[in-house]
Each structure stands twice: as structure tokens, then as C-alpha cells.
Amino acid sequence: MNHAKKIVEVKHLVKYYGKFCAVSDVSFDVYENDVFGFLGPNGAGKSTTLRMLLSLIKPTHGTIALFEKSLSDHRSAILSKVGCIVEKPDFYKYLSAQKNLEVFARISGIGISKTKIAELLEFVGLQGRANDKVSGFSHGMKQRLGIAQTLLHDPDLIILDEPTTGLDPQGIIDVRNLILQLKHEKRKTVILSSHILSEIERIANRMIIINKGKTVVQGNVADLVSSSALIVTFNLTPVDKALEVLQHSNFSACKTLVNNASLTLQTHADAIAQINAMFCSNDIQVSGIEVKRQLEDYFLQQVQSYAN
């Protein structure tokens, strides 16, 4: 039970476009200081859900509450505390970086000085391009400008939709570090949607996976991942004997992948020692054991199992 303050509460969210159901009964909660991972394959309904959170799209059914207030009734007050990047960050191409930020700062609800804007541009590494038109910016520079725009009014909730798309490895690291900094130093709450699942695993503490508009699973990243099967690779010889031993054991139901000199199977942590002892007692030489706890596998597994 999470005793932190609930920043986002989504209940039974539904969105129909005509007869097509884009989001079907999605519910989740985001608590204060969470980095909340939003995962799902393409077309799962992630962007639609996030846009509903930001009042860009009106839900067909369901309720959305941010900061314990109904979004539909307190939209302006809520959005004054929210910063976001939706899809790729787009700006007015005919305006400079500085002017773009001034335009958005002016309507962000609080007074934001030009000094603050300059500081933000320096923070994202664009201080030298402040007076250049955005039309000449690369994708990475626009992404950084987008992050600066998100932080203009020092929001309490930051929603980032695929923030590392198109960034180079250093850029990805910078965004990751920024999010961690926002969480730990500034005590911000972040909702992060991404396809780079390793990033979610590293950054997020809670997550939801949706597919075909429905919630597949949600909870703490650590709990979800630990409750899943491990991918264990036994480097051993002879492989065929090991396979035969396995198939005559209590672990015959485990999914198995056979290679020349290894056997990979899905099992739980407490089964590893038992399996190893079983191989050893059957004169199978085990030269190494590799354990992988991958969110990507978990994600794919959950999505595929849901699809089945």
C-alpha cells in the first residue's frame, strides 16, 4: 500500500473513435515522486491515454483526477502544474529558441523572467543557440528545447512521451540523468512513456503495460520483474543428455532453448540450484550459469500472453 500522495488517478478510462476502441477500461495511479513507466507496443493506446491526461483528447468514459482534482473541472489549475512533451516536441519554426520559450512561458500561468529562460537554455545546452530560429535545429536540439519548455514553470508533474526518440547515446544518458535528477533532487513526479525498455527498467519505479487499449499489468517495476520467470542459460556438456535429464524431471514444463553447448530455460530463482544439482548428479558438466532478469523479455511475454 502506497502511502504517498496520489498525483494521478485514472479510473476506467475509455476512448472510442466511432466504432473503434482506442482505449478500453484503463485504470492506474501515479504517486508523488514516482517515475511511472508507460509501456505498450505501437498502437496500444499509450499516446491516446497520455493525451487524455493532458486534456488534448476527451475521454468517452472514465475519470481523470490530477492533484486530487477532477481534470474536467479544474483543467487550468491542474495544467499549471504539469509540464509535458507529447510525441516529438514541435515549436514555431519562424521564432528563435528564446522567443519560443517566451511565448509558452507567457501562458504557463506564472511569471517567468527572461533570466530564468536563459538559465533553462543553458541547462539543456542551448545557450549558444538562443537567438537562432528553430527551423535550423536538429531533432536532438528540439528535444532538448522541449525539455526546457517542460521545465519552464517548475511543474510538479512531468509527462514525457518518448523523450529519447532520435537522441544519440549521450543524449539518452543525459535525459535519463535528468529524470533521475528531477526525481531525487527536485522531488518531481514523472510519467514516462518509452519503447526503450531498458531505460524504463533503469529509471522507473512503477509501471503499467497496456496493449490494445487495455491494461495488461501494472505495479512496482521491481515486484513485477521479480515475479516473472528468469532466463537462465546453463553452459554444459553433453547437451542432449542434459535435455533428456531435464525432460524426465520436475522441470520438464519449463520453456527450453537448446544450443550447441548450452541450454536456456525459463525458471524461477529458487529452481536454479536444484537444476544445477540435478545436472551434476547425472554427470553433466556445467561450466557456467547466466541469469538474465530482462524487462524486455517480461514485456514481450506479458504482451504475447495477453494477446493469446
Binding site for other proteins (CB under 8 A): 17, 51, 54-58, 75-80, 82, 84, 86-95, 99, 103-104, 106-109, 149
Residue closer to other proteins by CB (options 24, 149) is 149
Minimal distance, residue 123 CB to other proteins, in Å = 19
Residue closer to other proteins by CB (options 22, 225) is 22
Counting Cα atoms < 13 Å in the Cβ hemisphere of 5 gives: 13
Minimal distance, residue 207 CB to other proteins, in Å = 23
What gap in Å lies between CA 113 and CA 115, rounded to an integer? 5
Minimal distance, residue 163 CB to other proteins, in Å = 14
Residue closer to other proteins by CB (options 108, 218) is 108
What gap in Å lies between CA 159 and CA 53, rounded to an integer? 9
- Which of 218-227's residues contact partners 24+ apart within 8 Å by CB, and which partners? 218/28, 221/37, 221/295, 224/298, 225/201, 225/293, 225/295, 225/298, 226/293
Beta strand 157-161 with 82-85 is: parallel
Name the amino acid, one letter, at 96.
S
Residue closer to other proteins by CB (options 96, 262) is 96
Residue closer to other proteins by CB (options 146, 171) is 146
Q: What is the SS3 assignment for 149? A: helix
Minimal distance, residue 89 CB to other proteins, in Å = 8
Q: What is the DSSP letter of 271?
A: G
Residue closer to other proteins by CB (options 95, 286) is 95
What gap in Å lies between CA 182 and CA 176, rounded to an integer? 10
Minimal distance, residue 107 CB to other proteins, in Å = 5
